[in-house]
A and B are shown apart, each in its own frame.
Chain A
Amino acid sequence: MTPDLEDLYREIILDHYRNPRNTGELKSPPAIRTVGFNPLCGDEITLYLDIEGDILKDVKIDIRGCSISQSSASMMSEAIKGKHIAEIQQFIQSFKSMMSVHKAQLAGDETSTQGKLADNDPGEVDDNLDDDGIVEQTLEDSKLGELTALRGVVQFPVRIKCATLAWNTLIQGLEEVG
C-alpha cells in the first residue's frame, strides 16, 4: 500500500511549521551552540542549549528546513525546555524508537523496533524487532505527546532524516556538555 500524504502533513505539523516555537539565538557561550546538517537536502539547523546544573533552562533554534524538519525541531524545543537532562535523554530514546518502526509498519505489523536513530542512511532499518512493541509504544506515546504526530513520517523513509535532524543535533549538543 502506498502511504498517504495526510499521514505526513498533519494539521499540528503544519501549525508548528507555520508558527515555529523557540526560534532565535542564545548568547554562546554560555549557551552551547551546535550545528547540524541534512546532507540529503542541505537543510541546516543551529541549536542553542542553555544548561544550568542538570536542567535545560532555555533552548533556541535557528533552522532552514522543510515542514517536517522544522516542525520536529519546534515540537522538540517545547518538549525539552525546562526539563531535566535525564528526562530529555528519555525523550530522545522514545523519539528514536518511534522513528525506527518503519520496517514493522511497512510490513503491516504493529510491533515496534528499538534502536538508534536512522540518521545517515535513508533506508536504514533496525532488525532488532521487539515482541513487546505494542505495550512499549503506548507508554512512549504518552511521554511524547504531540510529537507522535510525526509517526506518519516513518512511512516515508527518505523523510526520516528530516524528522531526526533536530534530535541528532540535540544529541550532539548534549554530548558536548559531557
Chain B
Amino acid sequence: MAQLDISSIKKDFPLLSQGGPGKKGVPRLVYLDSAATSQLPLTVINAMEHYYSTTHANVHRGVYTIAEEATRLFEDARLKVGEFINAPNPEREIVFTKNVTESINLVAQSWGRGNLKPADVVLLSEMEHHANIVPWQIMASQIGFEIRYLKITDDGYLILDDLKRQLDGVKLVGITLMSNVLGTINDISEIVAMAHDAGALVLADGAQFVPHLPTDVAQIGCDFLAFTGHKMLGPTGIGILWAPTDILDKMPPFLGGGEMIADVTLEGFRPTEIPWKFEAGTPPIAEAVGLLEAVKYLKNIGMSKIREHEIEMIEYTFDHLKKRFGDDLSIHGPKDAKHRGGVFSFAYKDVHPHDLAQILDSEGICIRAGHHCAKPLMRRLGVTSTARASVYIYNDFNDIVALGDGLGKVKDIFG
C-alpha cells in the first residue's frame, strides 16, 4: 500500500484484533461491513469513557465546572464537525440529531411543511436509501405533492439526460452522494446548478460519502447535507445536519421541548436560536465527544489519503475476485474506481446472499446480506437482496483475500 500503514491502523481498533466464531476458532475477525456501521478506534472509546468517568453533566444548564466542561466539549464537537466538512459558519450551521435518518426527517418535517405545496414536486433517485425516500413519502401523504425519481443505468449511474424537464415544478432535490448498494459516487454539481436555476434546493445524503472522501459543502453546493457518526468511526446515536444559516433561520422547529426554547408561557413558546432550535431535549453528549475524537482521528490520517487507500482497495478487489472467480462473481455498480466507493454488492453464482453471509460468518468474515434499506433499488436491479462487502481505512488486501477464501468454502458447500 502506497501511503497508509494499515497494519498499524488496524491495531487502533480493539474489535479487529478479536477472534472470530467457529468451532476451530477463526484467528481474527475480517470486518467488511463498514457501510452498515464502522468500528471505533480506541481513542474514541477512551474519550467517551473518560467523559463519563470525569465530566458527565447536562449541557447548557449547569453553572458548575463539569457542566461547563461538558458544554464546552459538546460545542467543540459541533465546531470540529463543521470544520470537517468546511462549513462556512460551523458553530451555527451544524445540528446534532440521532442519525442521518433523523436529519432527513428534520428537513422533510420542518422545511418541507413550511415550503412544500400540493402542486410541488420532490425529486429523488432510484438509488436512495429508505431514509431519503420514506420521510418524503410521509410528507407527500399529508401535503399531496408529487415525488419523482431520477432513473439509473444498468451499471449504476444516474441518468441526467432529461434533468431539465424532470426539474419542472421541483422544490427540493434529494440525492445520495454515494450509494450504499452500488458504491456509485454521484457528482451532483450539474444537478445543483440546474436545480438552483429552477428554484429548487438540494439535499445531499452524505451517509456513505462523508466518511470516505474529503467533503466541502461549498464545493458540493448543496443546501442540506445529512450524515451520521457511526459510519465515520464514531459512536451510534449521533447524526448531523448541515445547512446554511439563512435556510436554518427560516425553518420552524422540528421537535419541541427543553433546550430548543427561548421562552415558554402557558399560551405558547418562542424558539431559541439556531442550531439549538432544532435540538430539543438532552442531546447525545458522550456521542458528540466520541464523534469529536473520530473526526480528529480521520483528520490526522487525512481524508485524501483515505480516499487513495480506498481506490487501491477497489482496484484490488475487482482484480482479485475476477482472477479467482471469473464470471461466477459479479459486482453491481460502476467498475471505474474513480466513480465509486469501496462498497461491493455482489452476486456469486446463484447462491442466495443469506447463505453467502452465513458461510462467510463461519470463517469470521462479516458481510451484509439483505436489501440494504433500498428496496426500490433492489427492484430496479431485479433482485430481492444482495450480498455486500464494504471496506474502510482498517481493511487491507489480506481482508479481500480472506473474502475470496471464504467464497471458496461457499463453492464447497453449494458446488
Binding site for B on A (CB under 8 A): 1-2, 4-5, 8-9, 14, 40-44, 64-68, 156, 159, 162
With A and B bound together, what is the CA distance between A50 and B23 in angstroms? 45
> How far, in whole Å, are A6 and B375 apart by their CA atoms in the complex?
32
5 smallest CB-CB distances across A and B, nearest first, come from A66-B352, A42-B384, A66-B354, A42-B371, A2-B21
B26: nearest chain-A partner, CB-CB: A2
**Given contact pairs A5-B413, A65-B352, A43 touches B23 in the complex (Cβ within 8 A):** no
Tell me, rounded to whole Å, the shortest Cβ–Cβ distance linking B355 to chain A. 5
Asked if B88 is at the interface (CB within 8 A of a chain A CB), the reply is: no
A67 touching B355 by the CB < 8 A rule?
Answer: yes
* With A9-B413, A14-B413, A14-B414 as contacts: A41 and B385 at CB distance below 8 Å: yes
Query: Given the complex, which residues of B lie within 8 Å of A41, measured CB to CB?
Result: 353-354, 369-371, 384-385
- Is B358 a contact of A5 with CB atoms below 8 Å? yes
Cα-based distance from A14 to B351 in the complex (angstroms): 11
Q: Contacts A14-B413, A41-B385 hold; do A5 and B352 have CB atoms under 8 A apart?
A: no
Known: A42-B385, A66-B354. 13 other contacts (CB 8 A): A2-B23, A5-B358, A5-B362, A5-B413, A14-B413, A14-B414, A41-B353, A41-B384, A42-B375, A42-B384, A65-B352, A66-B355, A67-B355
Number of A-B contacts (CB under 8 A): 46
Within 8 A of A (CB), among B214-264: none
Cα A149 to Cα B325 in complex, Å, equals 31
Chain B residues within an 8 Å CB radius of A66: 352-355
Q: How far is the CB of A146 from chain B (nearest CB, A)?
A: 19
Provide the bound-state CA to CA distance between A68 and B355, in Å. 8
Q: Is B378 an interface residue (CB 8 A)?
A: yes
Q: CB distance A64 to B413 under 8 Å?
A: no
| Distance (whole angstroms) from the CB of A63 to the closest CB of chain B | 10
CB interface residues, B 356-415, toward A, < 8 Å: 358-359, 362, 369-371, 375, 378, 384-385, 413-414
Which residues on the A side are within 8 Å of B413 (C-beta)? 5, 9, 14
CB distance from A61 to the nearest CB of B (A): 16
> Which residues on A sit within 8 Å (CB–CB) of B355?
66-68
Contacts of A43 in B (CB 8 A): 354, 384-385
Complex CA–CA separation, A2 to B22 (angstroms): 6
Give the residues in chain B near A40, CB-CB below 8 Å. Answer: 370
| Residues on A with beta carbons closer than 8 Å to the beta carbon of B369 | 41
Determine the distance from Cα of A73 to Cα of B362 in the docked complex, in whole angstroms.
25
Q: Within residues 1 to 44 of chain B, which ones have a CB less than 8 A from any CB in chain A?
A: 21-23
18 A-B pairs (CB sep. < 8 Å): A4-B23, A5-B358, A5-B359, A8-B358, A40-B370, A41-B385, A42-B371, A42-B375, A42-B378, A42-B384, A43-B354, A43-B385, A66-B353, A66-B354, A66-B355, A68-B354, A68-B355, A159-B354
CB distance from A86 to the nearest CB of B (A): 34
What residues on B are CB-neighbors of A156 within 8 Å?
Answer: 358
Complex Cα distance, B359 from A43, in Å, reads 18
A48→B352 CA distance, assembly (Å) = 23
Give bound CA distance, A133 to B239, whole Å. Answer: 48
Closest to A37 in B: B384
